[in-house]
Amino acid sequence: MTIWDLHVHMSGAPGATPTERMAQLIAFADRMGIERLCVYMGIPWSKDPPPETFRKENDQVLEAIGKFPDRTFGFVYLNPKHVEASLAELDRCVARGPMVGVKLWVAHRCNAAELDPIIKRAGELQAVIFQHTWLKVTGNDPGESTPFDLAELAARYPATPIICGHTGGDWERGIRAIRAHKNLYADLAGSDPVAGYTEMAVRELGPERVIYGSDAGGRSFASQLGKVLGAQISDAAKQLILSGNLRRLITPILQRKGIKA
Amino acid sequence: MTVDFPRRTFLKSSLAVAALATPAARAADSTRAAGLGLVDTNVNLSRWPFRRCPLDEPPALVAKLREHGVEQSWAGTFDGLLHKDLGSANARLAAECRAHGNLLVPFGSVNPKLPDWEQELRRCAEVHRMPGIRLHPNYHGYKLDDPAFARLLTLASERKLVVQLAVVMEDERTLHPLVQVPPVDTAPLVDLLKKTPGVRLQLLNAFRTVRGEPLLRLAAAGAHFEIAMLEGVGSVAGLTKQLPAERILFGSHAPLFYFESAVLKLKESIFTPEQDRAIRSGNALRLRA
């Protein structure tokens, strides 16, 4: 099966430079048969980065993907608290640069109005949009979005695909929260490999709305692949989850940029 | 842009990958081909209290374990978390294990805060012939500086039982809102291990919370670990750089976790053949001997 990983960070990988870290990640990915890695955010992480910080992190990603263009896709990290700077960065890295997606993390909850111009512009560019979400019974961070927040955003942009990062972590609630919004996709990455996760996602969303990601280097490629390879679903569903769905979402922007994959 | 990656190498390996079904299948194949039977030290029978797991019927779990070359699986019971009649829970566990030949090895639950718990320990060892016991201090409501726990360690050591202590059962962020069970504080363990010679202690699901210096101190004091909740790229090989490899055992936390997640970690990491054998089975067999 062809495997593309939606959710990879250089943080947590060994190496002194972005290029070294990316090389290490690719070496581990090779062991697991993973062909492509979507990479976002730099080193160190910043939860609420000012523009100069997210630009620096994006420069690190640009360096890393520049060395491995046949193996990586870059997503631009933005902060909706800085709308104009984020739009400028989106244009720098995606419209004029080699990146193909957008990463939104925990600076600002995603149901806020500040997200609107970013989602509109990303939609125009056909960039893949990834929004982190969690539903922690121990309490989310102040700017950390929930799948319910993302459902509000998705309802404002029903024609724009958006990926629900981690599916809220508490996936039994997260899957339900996004179920009605057909433009929302479930990211399997970055939580314990609890059995039943993938089966429920496929049952409730359909296999075409579920996407494999690992959250490596903090997580293991292996532990997260186990969620798909160990799931009691059809091989056809596994192939959609492991690469087919991401390929379908990312193909329009790749074609615009003349990137073959 | 410069392409530094050795594309020929990748294409070669990709073709090899394409010729096989999945990484999980390849991991199972390599296990069988190398004759490296796995000992899974972290399995549970019965029902997880908060959802049905896809493989929580023993025949399905056993089939999965056998598919991946598991030759021995140390099985506790989910009933041990919340049931008070542990005598009944352990008897069911022992019977279920017997029904599946030699694959499942029962590890009964003991709660040293229940009245006459010593009798439960005796039954595990003498009646059910269990090689070890499994403890859930956080679900049973005691800390590791409780004198009852020290006494339990001593008695288990005298019987040469393996003591498995589950630090957590799941991510604290996703616990049921009405059942907020904190991770076990393992800080008192180092001194207890020093005071209890011969104790055979293995921590289960430790790596969410036990890291850094506390982990090194526990390993130096003789504790063993398993990999079900170990995360990070190449994490098992990384662990062998921190701890002596003989302290690391294979564990899946199935059926609560996908079994493949653990077995694929062995594929992700690069070991020496000696380390590979030790982690797959050798360390577990030695701990139990």
B263 contacts in chain A (CB < 8 Å): 226
A169 touches chain B (CB under 8 A): yes
List the B200-204 sheet strands across, edge first: B38-45, B70-77, B104-109, B132-135, B162-166, B200-204, B224-226, B248-249
A141 touches chain B (CB under 8 A): no
**In this complex, do A226 and B4 lie within 8 Å of one another by their Cβ atoms?**
no
For strands A101-104 and B248-249, give the pairing: unpaired
Tell me the two tokens of residue B268: 């992700």
Is the pLDDT reported for residue A64 higher than 60? yes
| pLDDT mean over A249-253 | 98
A20 touches chain B (CB under 8 A): no
For residue B35, what pLDDT is reported? Answer: 54
Closest Cβ–Cβ partner in B7, B229, B265 for A192: B229
Amino acid at position B151, single letter:
R
A222 touches chain B (CB under 8 A): yes
Q: Return the exposure string of B209-233: e unless at least 16 CB atoms fall within 10 Å of the residue's CB, then b.
A: bbeeebbebbbebbbbbbbbbbbbb
Beta strands in B20-103 (DSSP E): 38-45, 70-77
Q: What is the mean pLDDT of chain A?
A: 97
A24 touches chain B (CB under 8 A): yes
Phi-psi category of residue A26: left, alpha or beta, with phi > 0 → left and psi -120 to 50 → alpha: alpha
A239 touches chain B (CB under 8 A): no
| DSSP for residue B186 | -
Sign for the CA dihedral angle at B37, B41, B45, B48 comes to negative
For strands B132-135 and B162-166, give the pairing: parallel
Of the CA atoms within 13 Å of residue B155, those in its CB half-sphere come to: 18
For residue B8, what pLDDT is reported? Answer: 34
The minimum CA-CA distance between B246 and chain A, rounded to whole Å, is: 22
With CA atoms as reference, the chain B residue closest to A134 would be B173
Is the pLDDT reported for residue A195 higher than 60? yes
pLDDT band per the 50, 70, 90 thresholds, residue B11? very low
Domains detected in chain B: 39-288 (3.20.20.140)
**In this complex, do B265 and A220 lie within 8 Å of one another by their Cβ atoms?**
yes
CB atoms within 10 A of CB B88: 11
Domains detected in chain A: 3-256 (3.20.20.140)
**In this complex, do B5 and A23 lie within 8 Å of one another by their Cβ atoms?**
yes
Closest Cβ–Cβ partner in A70, A137, A216 for B173: A137
Amino acid at position B160, single letter:
K
Residue tagged 């997880």 (tokens): B48
The minimum CA-CA distance between A125 and chain B, rounded to whole Å, is: 22
**In this complex, do B232 and A196 lie within 8 Å of one another by their Cβ atoms?**
no
Is the pLDDT reported for residue A165 higher than 90? yes
Q: Give per-residue pLDDT as tens, A98-139.
A: 999 999 999 999 999 999 999 999 999 999 999 999 999 999
Is the pLDDT reported for residue B19 higher than 90? no
A23 contacts in chain B (CB < 8 Å): 4-5
With CA atoms as reference, the chain A residue closest to B20 would be A1
With CA atoms as reference, the chain B residue closest to A224 would be B261
**Alpha carbon of A170 to those of A135, A140, A167, B31, B243: distances in Å?**
6, 12, 7, 33, 32
Residue to mutate among B261, B263, B265, B267, with most A CBs inside 10 A, is: B261
For residue B25, what pLDDT is reported? Answer: 64
Helices A197-205, A171-178: axis angle to 10 degrees equals: 10
A229 contacts in chain B (CB < 8 Å): 22-24, 258, 260, 264
For residue B12, what pLDDT is reported? Answer: 38
- Which of these ranges, A29-38, B22-31, B154-163, has the smallest mean pLDDT? B22-31
Q: Tell me the DSSP string of chain B.
A: ----S-HHHHHHHHHHHHTSS-HHHHHHHHHHHTT--EEEEEEEES--TTS--TT-SHHHHHHHHHHTTEEEEEEEETHHHH-S-HHHHHHHHHHHHHTTTTSEEEEEE--TTSTTHHHHHHIIIIIS--SEEEE-HHHHT--TTSHHHHHHHHHHHHTT-EEEEES-SS-GGGS-TT---PPP--TTHHHHHHHSTT-EEEEES-TTT--HHHHHHHHHTT-EEESTT--STTHHHHHHHHS-GGGEE----BTTB-HHHHHHHHHHS---HHHHHIIIIIHHHHHH-
The minimum CA-CA distance between B174 and chain A, rounded to whole Å, is: 5
With CA atoms as reference, the chain B residue closest to A33 would be B17
- Which of these ranges, A36-50, B8-22, B190-204, has the smallest mean pLDDT? B8-22
Tell me the two tokens of residue A190: 């970055």
Is the pLDDT reported for residue B3 higher than 90? no
At A91 the three-state DSSP class reads helix
Q: If DSSP states are collapsed to H, E and C, what string results for B54-71?
A: CCCCHHHHHHHHHHCCEE
For residue B59, what pLDDT is reported? Answer: 97
Q: Give per-residue pLDDT as tens, B60-94.
A: 999 999 999 999 999 999 999 999 999 999 999 99
A191 contacts in chain B (CB < 8 Å): 171, 174
The minimum CA-CA distance between B197 and chain A, rounded to whole Å, is: 35
Is the pLDDT reported for residue A73 higher than 50? yes
A4 contacts in chain B (CB < 8 Å): none
Q: What is the ipTM of this complex?
A: 0.96
What's the angle, vertex CA A186, arms to CA A203 and CA A144, rounded to 5? 135
